[in-house]
Amino acid sequence: MTVLVTGGAGFIGSNFVYHMLKKYPDYKIICVDCLTYAGNLSTLEKALENPNFVFLKTDICDREEIYKIFDEHKPDIVVNFAAESHVDRSIENPEVFLKTNILGTQVLMDACRKYGITRYHQVSTDEVYGDLPLDRPDMFFTEETPLHTSSPYSASKASADLLVLAYYRTYNLPITISRCSNNYGPYHFPEKLIPLMIANALADKPLPVYGKGENVRDWLYVEDHCEAIDLIIHKGKAGEVYNVGGHNEMKNIDIVKLICKKLDKPESLITFVTDRKGHDLRYAIDPAKINKELGWLPKTKFSDGIEKTIKWYLNNKQWWETIISGEYRDYYDKMYRNR
């Protein structure tokens, strides 16, 4: 079995590569990633020692190169993680989000049609459903919740989802889609909430909380997401959408306070800054379908997952210190200096 994983040098894709290499030692894993600011080859250092792993530096929008890769490696399954993934960056510059997230998806599915595959899996997000009110804890996103996006990021992901469903209906391409809640864990790029707060707290820098910190996210440990995708590509039904999330809702401010406590840092580091434009209030997934049909349930409790994550950032300082010392520093200055 050959599995082509796009975006495998990013946060979730790399965790998925390691998950697959460990669980299926006889599978060949081909990773396609063009190494944007969010992709890091050092993340795949250990995978590169495995003879069943191949890394190809290619843009998923490059039709010619993608067709060549399909022609040579003949993947059975394609899992598309490659995307521009950061909401704040999409607010600054939407264009690349439309290109990679929509047109890149189209190129990959065209290659799947041309060369034939048993499954194309699109890694999507709960953000395609928009947000839920803070005062209705009884409301959750189901697979039937209408798409209702807020940011250029979520709009691009929803557009891709519609295209994927259109390729199923029109061309009978055997697709599946997973819509997952916020992930956390090792190799999370330090521009996102949890790793950013860990890195800043360790450096005794201000912890910039948007608005009042009341926004709620539904956090899932990344390995649980990888297991869900593994189940869907092997046992999920073509044409179906599966929501993935673990009923673990937390307010941003509570996460930041917890990180301060775990790192023994004062809450006085917390700084409330100007809110994100169009900031989604609450995300909350109802995972009943994937639980009932595929038996998936998250295995990692948040208290254990956050402990493991903090430990990982403490033990792998070189990985993230290299990132925040480079081009990222200009991004940070631009986004936070006068906020």
In the bound state with ligand NAD, the residue whose beta carbon lies nearer, of 150 and 269, is: 150
- Examine residue 87 and tell whether it contacts ligand NAD (CB under 6 A): no
Handedness of CA 238, 54, 43, 23 (dihedral sign): positive
In the bound state with ligand NAD, the residue whose beta carbon lies nearer, of 59 and 223, is: 59
The residue type of 36 is: T
In the bound state with ligand NAD, the residue whose beta carbon lies nearer, of 122 and 200, is: 122
Q: Quick check: is 153 catalytic?
A: yes
Rule CB under 6 A: choose which of 4, 5, 11, 310 binds ligand NAD.
11
Stretch that binds ligand NAD, among 11-19, 108-116, 283-291, 305-313 (CB under 6 A): 11-19
- Examine residue 174 and tell whether it contacts ligand NAD (CB under 6 A): no
Q: d(Cα 307, Cα 267) in Å, to the nearest integer?
A: 18
SS3 81: coil
Please report, as residue ranges, which positions from 176 to 215 form the binding site for ligand TYD (by CB under 6 A): 182, 192-193, 196, 208-210, 215
Q: Point out the catalytic residue in the list 33, 84, 127, 218.
A: 127
Stretch that binds ligand NAD, among 17-25, 33-41, 108-116, 278-286 (CB under 6 A): 33-41
Which token pair is 47? 């995978």
Helix, strand, coil share (%) of the chain residues, nearest 5? 45, 15, 35
- Examine residue 132 and tell whether it contacts ligand TYD (CB under 6 A): no
Residue 38 binds which entry of ligand NAD, ligand TYD, none, CB below 5-8 Å type-dependent? ligand NAD
CB 111 within 8 A of CB 58: no
Exposed, middle or buried: residue 78 (CB in 10 Å: 0-12, 13-18, 19+)?
buried
Q: Quick check: is 126 catalytic?
A: yes
- Examine residue 9 and tell whether it contacts ligand NAD (CB under 6 A): yes
Residue 252 binds which entry of ligand TYD, ligand NAD, none, CB below 5-8 Å type-dependent? ligand TYD
**Element spanning 293, H or E:** helix 288-294
CB 221 within 8 A of CB 65: no
Question: In residues, how long is the chain?
Answer: 339
Rule CB under 6 A: choose which of 28, 89, 121, 157 binds ligand NAD.
157
SS3 283: coil
Q: d(Cα 152, Cα 86) in Å, to the nearest integer?
A: 10
- Examine residue 36 and tell whether it contacts ligand NAD (CB under 6 A): yes
Size of the site for ligand NAD (CB under 6 A): 30
The residue type of 258 is: L
Q: Quick check: is 221 catalytic?
A: no
Phi-psi label, residue 231: left if phi above 0, alpha if psi -120 to 50, beta otherwise: alpha
**What is the set of active-site residues?**
126-127, 153
Residue ranges that bind ligand NAD, judged by CB under 6 A: 6-7, 9-13, 33-36, 38-39, 59-61, 81-85, 100, 104, 123, 125, 157, 180, 182-183, 189
